[in-house]
A and B are shown apart, each in its own frame.
Chain A
């Protein structure tokens, strides 16, 4: 059953993505920037999907500390990995856009720096988990660090904003004039990313469960 739902979700995400790519390719080029502007239809949705992942990871971590149920720990680690991939996609698409428009791959602007710090924080979370052998300790320490990271993110974004900002102001939800069907394309792309994220997380979740089962079997085998 779970497999079938995952298949349906995955196929829907793929179909939606294919449809969006076709529609977006059909849009006229933006007057000043040309075709490269269209990267925003991916750049913004993956960033938002990454933020949702961070929120889900916080929920998983807090729930683990409250209930000590390893399901929540598996959720936290799976969703963090997926979120990290989304954030990496966000950084890479942004970098490509920057190369074309600004002529440089990277600049130490507020949003870029914050995104990079967030990426490093959550990469640190995964590294910390890898370094701890004992499952309960790994889950507990991971959850604690995840909470620290999540609290840090708004402060990082806030403080780095006080440094000079070079990143363009928000296009979609910042009062810019964007045609309605462009909005729709961006929203549908966000939906596709979220579905895609759910599928990836579920696959990773199953891996975690299998790993735990294996570990417990191994322990049982050693006991004899």
Chain B
């Protein structure tokens, strides 16, 4: 077991190091997040009260779009020099490779989320600090849902035509329940209401989604990678 987690850590560190040296995915993703935040200001009046009500939804649309850019790169990065074949041939289980990549993606997605959150707060006068610990929990859970589904589909789409289009096409419909939960919870939290009542069931749903899709991905990843 310790060996397994060491292998996971090696893959995670490798991916993060490669990303931090080039910063290609994170930079693109952050810039994209900013552009979407700018576009939203034209779609509706940023000073309206209704903006605050729908802010949870807007925020997660930004995260989902920007996250797809990080996830797209995850396996695509391994394509030059046949690195992916080398990784698959490495003496580690597919699950370790998958989890390692997922953790690295998770760090990057969280970085993008945590940078765009204050920017969003400033641009749209949203008080995101009032329930920060709970908001952070929702960000972590929603971020993991996005990452785990995105990583397995990133492996699925790495070799195909139109990769950049296919990944979001496949990922977003699967993510609908998780995104709905995260949007619902975030909208409440940025309006200063702690999680309670109905929102507790959304939280449970989000946790359930994470657990189910992590488990299914771990079962199927060997099939995806090795064939």
Chain A residues near B (Cβ < 8 Å): 65, 117, 120-121, 124, 127-128, 131-133, 136-137, 140-141, 144-145, 147-149, 151-152, 155-156, 158-160, 162-163
Contact = CB atoms under 8 A, between A and B. Distances in A.
B224 A144 contact: yes
B177 A145 contact: no
A124 B174 CA distance: 10
Contacts of B161: 131, 133
Nearest to B149: A148
A160 B224 CA distance: 30
* Chain B interface, DSSP helix/strand/loop, else mixed: helix
Contacts of B173: 117, 120-121, 124, 152
Given A121-B174, A160-B180, A162-B198, A147 B216 contact: yes
Given A128-B166, A156-B177, A148 B216 contact: yes
Nearest to B212: A151
B157 A155 contact: no
Contact of A148 (B174, B202, B208, B227): B174
Contact of B227 (A128, A137, A155): A137
8 A-B pairs with the lowest CB-CB distances in the bound complex, closest first:
A159-B177, A131-B160, A120-B173, A155-B177, A121-B173, A124-B170, A131-B161, A152-B174
A141 B161 CA distance: 14
B224 A159 contact: no
A144 B162 contact: no
A163 B198 CA distance: 11
Chain A CB within 10 Å — which of B169, B198, B208 has the most? B169
Nearest to B209: A155
Interface string B165-178: 01001100110110
B208 to A, nearest CB: 8
B157 A162 contact: no
A163 B177 CA distance: 11
